[in-house]
Amino acid sequence: MSILVQHKPKLMRLSQSAAMCGGFFLLLCEIRFEHRAVLVDDWRPWTPIIFCGLMLVVIPVATLFWDRGGKSIIFCCYCLTACIGILGLIFHSEGHLLQRLMEVFSVWSSSLKTGAAIKALHPPLLAPAAFIGLAFIGILFCVSEKTDIYEKLTASEV
């Protein structure tokens, strides 16, 4: 029973890392598909694709070296993920964030027929927000005191 208790925090960390890798993998697939037409014209659409690919390598490696600097590295990577999401919002809004937000939310104040007739003339504004959400989930995993306290308690019992 004590072996299970000792490995529970590590198992939880591995599960969290697997979930984050899954999120980045799905995001990678979706972004690659959605950016297919603009990849030949501009370098900016490659940024989230390359970053997601890098995170698929960084997350497992940082998890393996969690107590030897991996936690700090992955924390910084999640902060960078949020920055890339914010940058994506700026690129997708074409410099007019509030105006584009109002366009997106205007569909909620229109009827179904009127809303269906609204044509999207710009990149999907809120798509980069998925990066920001994934970043905050990862940051919460990194700063989770519950895991650290649990590890200290189980270490003192041994």
Residue-level pLDDT at 7: 62
List the one residue out of 76, 67, 58, 54 whose CA is nearest residue 10. Answer: 67
CB distance 20 to 141 below 8 Å: yes
Q: What is the mean pLDDT of residues 124-129?
A: 87
Q: At 122, is the pLDDT very low, low, confident or very high (cuts 50, 70, 90)?
A: confident
User: Within a 13 Å sphere around the CA of 44, how many CA atoms are in the beta-carbon half?
Assistant: 12
Whether the pLDDT of residue 157 is over 80: the answer is: no
Average pLDDT over all residues of the chain: 84
3-state SS, residue 158: coil
* pLDDT value of residue 79: 96
| pTM metric for this prediction | 0.78
pLDDT over 70 percentage in the chain: 86
Which of 113, 106, 92, 96 has the alpha carbon at shortest distance from 42?
A: 92
